[in-house]
């Protein structure tokens, strides 16, 4: 596989992954700011008591259904095409989650950062789409699925750059 191809894809993955961790921090900060200083009674009135029992007002990342954040949220098969489609799906799922939050929440101090995060998910989806296009451009266009470019050796006739692998 040509080295130009590898660099283009890895830069995209690294910068998006770092930014995703920042998104988690922003959402955790919003939750902290919304729950800071609330009494036990207020937490109970808002349906937050099960969370409070386990974590008080500490930040414990979890889905709305109560499932804790864990490594199962990250999917990787080691095949660039498969992984890029998974990345694109994850960005769309995050965007949909932000859309749902915006339908429920009217506080501008919450909505503004959520809108920002939503926009970043759209940009990430576009970047992963570009990475998918670059990947497919460097493969045998008659059959993208003939081999796993991250695992199987490519021969020079399949590399559009004309360089030896």
pLDDT value of position 5: 52
Q: How far apart are CA 94 and CA 110, in angstroms?
A: 16
Give mean pLDDT in consecutive 10-residue pieces for the chain, a chain of 165 residues: 52 68 90 89 89 85 85 81 91 96 96 97 92 83 67 60 49
Q: What are phi and psi of 163, to 5 degrees?
A: -85, 155
Question: According to the model, what pLDDT value does residue 96 have?
Answer: 97
Where along the chain do its domains lie?
3-33+73-158
62: β partners: 68
- pLDDT value at position 164? 47
Annotated binding site: 20, 23, 91, 124
- Tokens representing residue 131 in the block: 């990475």
- Binding-site positions for Mn(2+) read 20, 23, 91, 124
Taking CA atoms, 50 is separated from 40, 56, 59, 83, 131, in Å, by 11, 9, 14, 36, 42
Q: What pLDDT, on the 0 to 100 scale, is given for residue 156? A: 53
Prediction pTM value: 0.75
Q: Under DSSP, is residue 48 helix (H, G, I), strand (E, B) or coil? A: coil
Q: Give rounded-to-5 percent helix, strand, coil for the chain.
A: 65, 0, 35
Taking alpha carbons only, the member of 160, 138, 164, 134 closest to residue 149 is 138
């Amino acid at each position: 596989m040509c080295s130009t191809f590898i660099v283009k894809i890895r830069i995209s993955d690294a910068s998006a992954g770092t930014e995703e961790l920042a998104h988690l921090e922003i959402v955790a900060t919003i939750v902290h700011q919304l729950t800071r200083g609330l009494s036990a009674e207020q937490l109970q009135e808002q349906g937050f008591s099960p969370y409070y029992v386990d974590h008080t007002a500490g930040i414990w990342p979890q889905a709305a259904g109560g499932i804790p954040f864990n490594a199962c949220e990250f999917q990787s098969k080691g095949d660039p095409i498969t992984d890029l489609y998974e990345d694109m799906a994850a960005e769309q799922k995050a965007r949909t989650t932000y859309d749902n939050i915006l339908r429920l929440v009217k506080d501008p101090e919450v909505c503004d950062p959520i809108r920002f995060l939503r926009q970043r998910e759209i940009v990430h989806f576009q970047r992963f789409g570009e990475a998918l296009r670059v990947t497919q451009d460097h493969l045998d266009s008659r059959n993208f699925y003939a081999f796993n470019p991250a695992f199987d050796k490519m021969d020079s006739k399949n590399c559009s750059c004309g360089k030896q692998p």
